Amino acid sequence: MTAQRKLTMEDILPACGHYVGTDELFLQGYNLLVDENDQGKKVLEVCCGAGDLSGTLAQVTQLEILAIDRLEQNIQTAKQKYNHLTNLEFLCEDATNLQKFESDRFDVIFGQATLHHLAHSTESLSKEYCRLLKAGGKLVFIFEPLGHNPLIAAIRAVRVAYAEMPDESNLFESTLRDIAVNFGRYEIYYFSLFAYFCKSLPRSSNLGMWLYEKLNALDQKLFVQYPRLRKFAANVNVCYWK
């Protein structure tokens, strides 16, 4: 990757193309993971699933990526797809038990749709991830559900009950503040208020994507003009700096 290049939707589509109504969220979040010169930077993805995000980043950057997941079947699937990439390694590890890794090892630690599965232990998570980061390093969580909006929370509750997902939960601004206690600073990026309701539209629908773009632009304008609306967003990205 050349200096000062920013990731584009074309770069990242393999990692997030199955989601609808979230392009700006992923583009902003993924660009938090890269710097002007990322050659040799050591990165850890937690709860990597089938490895598509790390696999995509490894192909379009020079990051040295270690991706972990607690399910062996996910790791095997990821290896089958991305084993040819020399700057990417997959390991079967628990994201809440990383004592085997030395301190100050990583420049960036990140997870996608991950934090809300780990939020039952924010104190230990914050201490451990801070320990693993180098000075000046970043902890980034992408595409996390925010739970202050009663309507969106109710829709999610129905979906979770229908799918019988026992470890799904919403996050709150207080949860994100709790994690920040071991870091120098942090910032929350808010996405989707009205645009959230485009999730049921197929990406192949030109009308659906046009509607999403219009509603997303409206949402971002409202968040700037009326900051108190931000907590009612459907999703957030959050970045912590050590």
**Which structural domains are found in the chain, ordered by start?**
9-241 (3.40.50.150)
Tokens 């009205």 belong to 194
According to DSSP, the residues that pair with 42 across neighbouring strands are 64
Q: Picking from 47-51, 90-94, 96-100, 164-168, which range would have the lowest pLDDT averaged per residue?
A: 164-168
pLDDT at 126 over 70: yes
**HSE-CB of 194 using CA atoms within 13 angstroms:** 13
H/E stretch holding 135 reads: strand 133-145
Query: HEC states along 23-90?
Result: HHHHHHHHHCCCCCCCCCCEEEECCCCCCHHHHHHHHHCCCEEEEEECCHHHHHHHHHHHCCCCCEEE
Of 91, 131, 129, 161, give the one whose Cα is nearest residue 239: 129
Looking at residue 11, its pLDDT comes to 86
Residues 66 and 42 sit within 8 Å (Cβ to Cβ):
yes
Tokens 């180098």 belong to 134
Pairing mode of beta strands 42-45, 106-112:
parallel
Pairing mode of beta strands 42-45, 235-241:
unpaired
H/E stretch holding 117 reads: helix 115-118
Looking at residue 1, its pLDDT comes to 38
Distance spanning both ends of the chain, measured CA to CA: 25
Looking at residue 21, its pLDDT comes to 65
What pTM, to 2 d.p., does this model score? Answer: 0.92
Give the integer Cα–Cα distance in Å for 63 and 56: 11
pLDDT tens for 61-89 read 999 999 999 999 999 999 999 999 999 99
H/E stretch holding 161 reads: helix 150-163
Tokens 């979040």 belong to 29
Looking at residue 37, its pLDDT comes to 76
Q: In this predicted model, which residue has the larger pLDDT, 101 or 17? A: 101
- CB atoms < 10 A from the CB of 132, how many? 20
Query: Phi and psi (nearest 5°) for 214?
Result: -65, -45
Residues 222 and 230 sit within 8 Å (Cβ to Cβ):
no
Say what percent of the chain tops pLDDT 90.
71
Give the integer Cα–Cα distance in Å for 242 and 139: 8
